[in-house]
Amino acid sequence: MPGKDRTTSTDERGAINMSKLQRETGGSGAGVEHIEEMARRLRYHIIRMVGKAGSGHPGGSLSSSDIVAALYFGGVLRVDPRNPLWSERDRFVLSKGHAAPVLYAALAEMGFFPVDVLLTLRKMGSPLQGHPDCRKVAGVEVSTGSLGQGLSIAVGMALAGKLDKKDYKVWALLGDGECQEGQVWEAAMAAAHYKLDNLRIIIDHNHLQIDGPVDRVMSVGSLGDKFRAFGWEVLSVDGHDIRELLEAYRRSSEGKPLAIVAETVKGKGVKFMEGVAAWHGKVPQGEELDRALAEVTIRETEERGQ
């Protein structure tokens, strides 16, 4: 395990390198291996953050780490850490706001704020609230946490983009359990009605929610069929396969909003947390934290730090 100070400084250097790389590649993004490495870093941050905080939602943050890494580090999302409110930016709405740790980790690695801020998660005075607060953190597009609302906000941004004839895209990440909220379907209807092909969502389909398997708590059936029936273009991908994710992200959907149903494993990356609903809102502590950290430790961090 790298020491705290060393990790912090290398991470900061890593973040700078990353944005430099993005500039150099003209936004076309890095290779798959690099994105996989970034996903590992996100997982490492997630476990350290929630471990330090003593609370949080690791399960759904880990399941969406590859999704978020491909989006931010694959040259897909057009954002500028030096100008967070750039009017031409792509918008990313974390509708499943409890996965805040994965968003914070990605923003820090992108250079929106220093990586060492991550360890203040959920502490008094920290900008990193338990659920994202757009008034406190640069790069957080909207405050979320009450499920089911993010897609509506994304629809509003996409409508505004159309109205202004801007070419930015609006992305939203939803949970599968979240799709039990009726507002999601109100928004889905509106997105298709207004032909928002500048809107694309990813559903982190990890099949688990707090009380157990989604299909046992309240079956959402086939999410792909449902969105298709609402007039959306739908793609299904392995949510842990960077290549598949990147390919889906680059697809266009003329005249229709696009839903990418990403099959994932809750707790992905930490063996004992994988597929276990209990890790939705519980954090590993003590010996379990050490075991979790050992699994997500980033060798490259140490190497780069030398």
Partner 1 sequence: MKAARDAYGEVLVELGKENVRIVVLDADLSSSTKTAVFGKAFPDRFFNMGIAEANMMGVAAGMARAGKIPFVSTFAVFATGRTYDQIRQSIAYTGFNVKIVATHGGLTVGADGASHQALEDIALMRVLPGMTVIVPSDAEETKLAVRAAAAHTGPVYIRLGREAVPQVFPAGSSFEIGKGNVLLPDVSREDVIAADPSSRRFDVSFIACGVMVKECLDAASLLEAQGLRCAVAGFASVKPFDADLCMALAKGSRLVVAAEEHSVIGGLGGAVCECLSGSHPSRVLRIGVEDRFGESGPARELLEAYGLTADSVARRVRAVLDTNQTTV
Which residues bind to partner 1, rule: CB under 8 A? 87, 91, 133-135, 141-146, 149-161, 163-164, 170, 182-183, 186-187, 189-190, 193-194
Nearer to partner 1, 91 or 207 (CB): 91
Looking from the CA of 301 toward its CB, the CA atoms found within 13 Å total 24
Alpha-helix runs per DSSP H in 197-261? 214-218, 223-229, 242-249
Nearer to partner 1, 199 or 203 (CB): 199
Q: How far is the CB of 28 from partner 1 (least distance, A)?
A: 26
Nearer to partner 1, 38 or 170 (CB): 170
- Bridge partner list, 175: 204
User: Closest separation between CB of residue 153 and partner 1, Å?
Assistant: 4
> Minimum distance from CB of 175 to partner 1 (Å)?
16
Radius of gyration of the chain (CA): 18
1 versus 189: smaller Cβ distance to partner 1:
189
Q: Please, what is the minimum distance in Å from the beta carbon of residue 192 to partner 1?
A: 12
Least distance to partner 1 from the beta carbon of 271, Å? 35
CA distances from 227 to 68, 165, 173, 196, 240 (A): 21, 26, 14, 14, 21
CB nearer to partner 1: pick between 90 and 233: 90
Contact 178, 149 (CB under 8 A): no
Show Cβ contacts of residue 202 under 8 Å, excluding neighbours closer than 6 positions.
64, 67, 71, 171, 172, 173, 174, 239, 259, 260, 262
